[in-house]
Structure 1
Amino acid sequence: MKRQPLTSKLLVLGVDGMDPKITKKYLAEGKLPNLQKFIDRGAAREDLVLLGAIPTITPPCWTTLATGAYPGTHGITCYWRQSPESLDAVVYNMDSRNCTAEQIWNITTEAGMKTLVWHWPGSSWPPTSQSPNLSVVDGTQPGSVNMGVAQLDWEKVIVANADIKEVRYAPRVDKPAGVGCVISDLEDTLDNDVDDEMMELWWGDTARQGGEIRTYVMDDEDTEVVIGSKVAYDIVNSPLKDATGWANAPEGAKEFTILTSGGVMRRPALILKNEAGEYDRVAIYKNKKAEAPIAIIKKGEMVSNIIDDVTKKEVTKPACRSMKILELDPAGTQVRLWISNALDIANDMLWHPKTLFQEIVDNVGVVPPVSLIGGEDAELVREIFEPSWVQYNKWQADCMNYLIKEKGYEVVFSHLHNIDCAGHQLWHLAKTLPEWDYTDEKVYQGFIEKFYLQTDDYLGEFMHLLDEGWTILLVSDHGLIVGENVPPILGEYGGLNTKVMEELGYTVMKKDENGNSIREVDWEKTRAVQIRGNYIYINLKGRDKTGIVDPADKYALEEQIINDLYNYRDERSGRRVVGICLRNKDAVILGTHGPECGDIFFSIEEGHNRLHGDGISTSEGYHETSVSPIFVAAGPGIKAGFTTDRIIRQVDVAPSVSALLGLRFPAQCEGAPIYQIFTEEI
């Protein structure tokens, strides 16, 4: 039975990590004017809450939004996928071929609607339909478009002054808080194995090669929050001296050297005076004989779309960078310059059809890089990390608006990652905890606000569509909490969590000569392991290569583990750590059952949560934050100025899209249309 459509054009604006609770706080303070207009013209719950799927982590939740199915049904059950070969390893997961439920965009394209899926992580790439009506951009990682495949060089800070005697390069320096960028013991920082491993594991294409990823989370230093807040960058130290040997250096200019491409490519640079005789800008050249600079960076401005050659693995390609002066002494005694990561400007690997890439480059511009550094360094967050996302947000909005206007897309599913990316670096610093007592929580609370303000600007770029007959849905996958405590080692989504399971006697690690645990499981003594965000696996004979537990004893062992987890108390807070703990067969009530989930599902109790992935959607945290995602709808087919009491679930979004467009529901859909907010009965 076909239904009459309530709208003919629909845009889903997905904002990763956007939390309705803190959104309400900023709305009440009048800081989100565009979102307020959107709410006034549309419908939502009073609290703006969307009840999220479980696990509350990016790929499962975006896939639930796209399919209307729970993770146990669609098969994307964490950030990573459990390795079929090893209990202590994970494999790449953001691949549409792993999804066992139908995506909503297959239905819109089937109906002849020109559809764009823009960077939707978890289940959009490779394209899920060969219909000429479907266009897909990336979706293989959550960061930013092309982040995973176009990276050629990493971010760096260049420091030049007269006291530095020679040009030196240090890759991936994990800069402690309060330490300057002049490296005196450079050799101590060098690591021949550093290359791009960290960058490509989390953001790049190394993980997509299909091999196992084995990460042991044994103490706080192994956790994603700690690692994410100390993102490394390259440091270059250079002498700063009077310019000599230049074809056309202005009078009074001083020169320094920039090293890129892993330190193998040199770019000479000048600091230049203004009319008042003060140094206020930097000019970067390909070589000293060049008549014109590659870029001129004025103090206080972030300059993007700087195209320069970059060499990686002996291959040289043109790449796009952004740059900003962090410090430039007006007297010309010192300069600090940030240079972004470099993105290959011709990489169209994750664009379908590939002609779409060139269309965007020609009419909007090359893909801009975003910064991934900042964390505990408030200066870098303020001057680099946050402003780089402002630039990226504008580029993405311009791309989508261009494609809607000029290419006639009728349905658009989009994802933006700015708030979530900030959360993984910054949110834990918005409460003064013992491990980070050298940071100011008020400063980091201010950074949270800045990312919401820039998101409001992004939403404002699409408000005109409401006047042009478009229906717009604002959704997120989850919110982000500011943690109340430093959590115990349990529920960390990046790998094998050993500490609590070791204390309880289920996981046994091999020991060194001093009796300390090493990063290797003693499988002959290990009965169960906790891996990924929410799963425990029994080391079962006949199923697992390392199995020691008789299948006849599995049920009783599960009961024992569940009891012990409920009884476990955090040594720092004295409080219970585990909130919900269920066998796989019982976890069907949460949608976390089936072959891609563990033998036991558990969640972390509120108060001990990390940012989001280890708890449930209703968890709340410090500074009026929560794990809940957001939902607002406006435009044709949606009641204006309407508030509903209905509990809206992520599984309800896809069938609501179908109902609004008058189309069939996804084949495995388990949700229902949010009919209470529609202008017509269905």
Structure 2
Amino acid sequence: MNRTGRTQKLIVLGIDGMDPVTTKRLVDEGKLPNIKKYLELGSARGGLDMLGAHPTITPPCWTTLATGAYPGTHGITCYWRQSPDSLDAVVYNMDSRNCKAEQIWNATTEAGLKTLVWHWPGSSWPPTSKSPLLHVVDGTQPGSVNMGVSQMDWEKILYASADTESLSFIPHTQKAAGVGCNITDMNEVFSPDDDENDEMMELWWGDEARKGGEIRTYVKTLDDTEMMIGAKVAYDMIFSPLQPAADWSSAPEDALEFTLLISGGKETRYGLITRNKEGVYDTVSLYRLKTDKEPFVVIEKDKMVTGIIDTATKKGVTKQCCRSYKILELSPDGTNLRLWISNALDVTNDMLWHPAALHDQIVEQVGHIPPVSLIGGEDSELVEQIFEPSWDIYSQWQADCLVHLLDNENYDAIFSHLHNIDCAGHQIWHLGKTLEPWSHIDETVYQELIERFYVQTDRYLGRFLHFVDKGYTIFIVSDHGLLVGENVPPILGEYAGLNTQVMEELGYTVLKKDADGNALDEIDWEKTRAVQIRSNYIYINLKNRDPHGIVDPKDKYDLEEQIISDLYNYRDDRTGKRVVGIALRNKDAVLLGTNGPECGDIFFTIEEGFNRLHGDGLTTAEGYFNTSVSPIFIAAGSGIKSNFITDRVIRQVDVTPTIAVLLGTRMPAQCEGAPIYQILSDEL
């Protein structure tokens, strides 16, 4: 094979959840000028799409992009890994040691190319090569760099009012009526002896999950699904009296004071609200002590302040942390204040940076990792005022990091990942159509918010356009798209755990009951013949294989046939339509690359029209508001035809071999794709 490279420098700009259908529409509407420029300079399909791997979910798809192998080959077969000991439990999956296929960056470093892998989820950490040319940053969770290991304190909103009589703290694990408006006189005081429960944070972002224990989640009703739980507003609330400043070393005349509780309510900060020259209260300043001469942060209205260093304490350990702040509401007369305080990220944590000196370099030359917000969901004000701006700050920080490293560290290849669109999707995409559970939602508000994250991404991608002029090749890719659902999905295909409702209705899964006949989160294994867990997998409860197996191996084939038939016959109560798209035995699922020991006995997909955001259907699934699950592919720069549209079907497995051809390296060992030779400027 001719291994002469067609480029000397290559950048992969990965955008998690970026949908080609939405992208093309917005390009055509003139809203994404930078992506339009990439298309003029490069090549793509007419729809900007490629065929993704299955399941259409983050870790397997990014691993396919990195290896050129299908999930059944590389072994990262869903967001979670099936527990080897339990059919109803999952374990942590985003560990490169679980990947059975070689990554492209092993080949680039072997060829002498200095390579950076930046927050590539699923198969990048720990580093997969001992080569000093391979540098890796995080990749243990999909959200933002260091989020899984540096979280020291939760997000919070302070409500300060002249009508509030006493200081109180409500943790994010409790609910309070009227969240989102100014509430006064809350009497639920958080006990300093209680442990803060960060279960949701640990589950989603990885710190506890990475320790390897089983995670057992039963999805029985719509309320148990990720779209209901993940989009709920979850933040600490502090209610503070707002009164004239007293006992301060240096408080301006007419300043008003309030008290802020952090670190699970166990530490105190003090705040002042001050007037401008016109006599309007418009500025908040925070102090560690009332005797401090200067505040550690000054917050003006309508501006998100980031990069602020303060301490936070978790489990008895105090660290220097980075936070962001924003005033949500401040009445001109100073009678009411709502203040957002971000989560706190430990600024000293370099455990997921290889080499560790890279962390110090970024902090010194670019700045501390800015926290991203995880709240918003059904509260569109929080999405607009907090969630989106925090991701805008983060995405530009990441662009600053990558540009700095390209300019100063002479990387030959960069493989990068940004999670803004996908994180927003899990918060708000399901609200892009007004459906019964969210009948109070105006879908047009959320449709506009969806577009804003694409505009944000276009700004990010625009930061790298000038590298095309410098001779770089740039790929823009995603793992999957995100669709707005047409209907409320059935309890089948939820990736976070065991789905019980449909399997109970079909008679294959049986839950134990309490004395009142209510279903427990416990399988009755003596009566359960099969379970559905993770996105697309059904496991037979098989004798001599599974701990509680009851199905004789000689009956397995017939039972699989019965389950597949029942899945095809299953109808949605509300519409009468078929719910399951395709269902295949493990051996037949090789057609989709979802066969082998890390996959279930049956692989199935949800029929188009009943899909969640992604993960449960085919890569070709489309949804409401011109959305789709397909991933995006655009290539531009050295070695790529300009302003070219190809009719060829591009698959995710084709990305790695195309990179290998462009850089002149060998193919990774288990690569199953083929170079996209039609877009190359020179014949292969």
Question: Which residue is 1:235 aligned to?
Answer: 237
Question: Which residue is 2:38 aligned to?
Answer: 38
Question: Which residue is 1:594 aligned to?
Answer: 596
Between the aligned partners of 1:177 and 1:95, the Cα distance in structure 2 is 41
SS in structure 2 of the partner of residue 229 of structure 1:
coil
What is the CA deviation profile of residues 269-316 of structure 1, one whole-angstrom value per residue up to 9, with x for unaligned ones?
000100000000100001000000010000000000110011111111
Between the aligned partners of 2:146 and 2:175, the Cα distance in structure 1 is 25
TM superposition shift of 1:2: 4.5
1:319 pairs with 2:321: yes
Question: Which residue is 1:124 aligned to?
Answer: 124
Q: Which amino acid counterpart does residue 299 of structure 1 have in structure 2?
A: K
Alignment partner of 1:677 out of 671, 676, 679 = 679
SS in structure 2 of the partner of residue 559 of structure 1:
helix
Question: Which residue is 2:410 aligned to?
Answer: 408
Question: Which residue is 2:181 aligned to?
Answer: 180
Question: Which residue is 1:370 aligned to?
Answer: 372
Between the aligned partners of 2:178 and 2:413, the Cα distance in structure 1 is 46
TM superposition shift of 1:75: 0.1
Between the aligned partners of 2:189 and 2:286, the Cα distance in structure 1 is 29
% identity of equivalent residues: 67
| Equivalent residues of 1:2, 1:664 under 8 A apart | no
Between the aligned partners of 1:205 and 1:299, the Cα distance in structure 2 is 34
In structure 1, list runs of 5 or more residues that go unmatched.
none
Q: Which amino acid counterpart does residue 454 of structure 2 have in structure 1?
A: Y
Between the aligned partners of 1:185 and 1:499, the Cα distance in structure 2 is 39
| Equivalent residues of 1:177, 1:376 under 8 A apart | no
SS in structure 1 of the partner of residue 149 of structure 2:
coil
Question: Which residue is 1:575 aligned to?
Answer: 577
Question: Which residue is 2:343 aligned to?
Answer: 341
Consecutive aligned runs of 4 or more in structure 1 exceeding 4 Å deviation: 173-179, 183-186, 188-194
Q: Which amino acid counterpart does residue 489 of structure 1 have in structure 2?
A: I
Q: Structure 2 vs 1, CA of residues 350 and 481 (structure 1 numbering), >3 Å: closer, same or farther? A: same
TM superposition shift of 1:516: 2.2
1:151 pairs with 2:151: yes
| Equivalent residues of 1:174, 1:230 under 8 A apart | no
TM superposition shift of 1:96: 0.1
TM superposition shift of 1:511: 1.1
Question: Which residue is 1:272 aligned to?
Answer: 274
1:529 pairs with 2:544: no
TM superposition shift of 1:476: 0.2
Q: CA RMSD in A?
A: 1.3
Alignment partner of 1:633 out of 635, 639, 644 = 635
What is the CA deviation profile of residues 186-221 of structure 1, one whole-angstrom value per residue up to 9, with x for unaligned ones?
539989565211111111310011100000000000
1:253 pairs with 2:275: no
TM superposition shift of 1:584: 0.2
Q: TM-score, normalised by structure 1?
A: 0.99
TM superposition shift of 1:519: 1.1
| Equivalent residues of 1:99, 1:123 under 8 A apart | yes
TM superposition shift of 1:514: 2.3
Q: Which amino acid counterpart does residue 130 of structure 1 have in structure 2?
A: K
| Equivalent residues of 1:177, 1:377 under 8 A apart | no
TM superposition shift of 1:182: 2.2
| Equivalent residues of 2:233, 2:379 under 8 A apart | no
Between the aligned partners of 2:184 and 2:665, the Cα distance in structure 1 is 62
TM superposition shift of 1:179: 5.4
Q: Which amino acid counterpart does residue 39 of structure 2 have in structure 1?
A: I
Between the aligned partners of 1:341 and 1:179, the Cα distance in structure 2 is 18
What is the CA deviation profile of residues 387-421 of structure 1, one whole-angstrom value per residue up to 9, with x for unaligned ones?
00000000000000000100111100000000000
Question: Which residue is 1:284 aligned to?
Answer: 286
TM superposition shift of 1:181: 5.0
What is the CA deviation profile of residues 586-606 of structure 1, one whole-angstrom value per residue up to 9, with x for unaligned ones?
000100000000000000000
Q: Which amino acid counterpart does residue 547 of structure 2 have in structure 1?
A: K
| Equivalent residues of 1:174, 1:231 under 8 A apart | no
Question: Which residue is 2:484 aligned to?
Answer: 482
What is the CA deviation profile of residues 106-158 of structure 1, one whole-angstrom value per residue up to 9, with x for unaligned ones?
00001110000000000000000010000000000000000000000000000
Q: Which amino acid counterpart does residue 211 of structure 1 have in structure 2?
A: G
Between the aligned partners of 1:516 and 1:259, the Cα distance in structure 2 is 40
Bigger Cα displacement from structure 2, 343-352 vs 168-177? 168-177
Q: Which amino acid counterpart does residue 302 of structure 1 have in structure 2?
A: M
| Equivalent residues of 2:152, 2:263 under 8 A apart | yes
**Number of positions where the alignment pairs a residue of Structure 1 with one of Structure 2:** 682
1:92 pairs with 2:117: no
TM superposition shift of 1:499: 0.3
Question: Which residue is 1:5 aligned to?
Answer: 5
TM superposition shift of 1:438: 1.1
Between the aligned partners of 2:198 and 2:489, the Cα distance in structure 1 is 29
Q: Structure 2 vs 1, CA of residues 314 and 194 (structure 1 numbering), >3 Å: closer, same or farther? A: closer
Bigger Cα displacement from structure 2, 188-197 vs 314-323? 188-197
Q: Structure 2 vs 1, CA of residues 183 and 60 (structure 1 numbering), >3 Å: closer, same or farther? A: farther
Between the aligned partners of 1:603 and 1:174, the Cα distance in structure 2 is 36
Between the aligned partners of 2:53 and 2:177, the Cα distance in structure 1 is 37
Between the aligned partners of 1:506 and 1:113, the Cα distance in structure 2 is 53
What is the CA deviation profile of residues 214-236 of structure 1, one whole-angstrom value per residue up to 9, with x for unaligned ones?
00000000000000110410000
Between the aligned partners of 1:573 and 1:434, the Cα distance in structure 2 is 14
> How do residues 598-609 of structure 1 correspond to structure 2 at under 5 angstroms?
598-609=600-611
Q: Which amino acid counterpart does residue 180 of structure 1 have in structure 2?
A: C
TM superposition shift of 1:525: 0.3
Between the aligned partners of 1:547 and 1:181, the Cα distance in structure 2 is 55
| Equivalent residues of 2:170, 2:189 under 8 A apart | no
Q: Structure 2 vs 1, CA of residues 184 and 246 (structure 1 numbering), >3 Å: closer, same or farther? A: closer
> How do residues 190-205 of structure 1 correspond to structure 2 at under 5 angstroms?
192=194, 195-205=197-207
| Equivalent residues of 2:196, 2:264 under 8 A apart | no
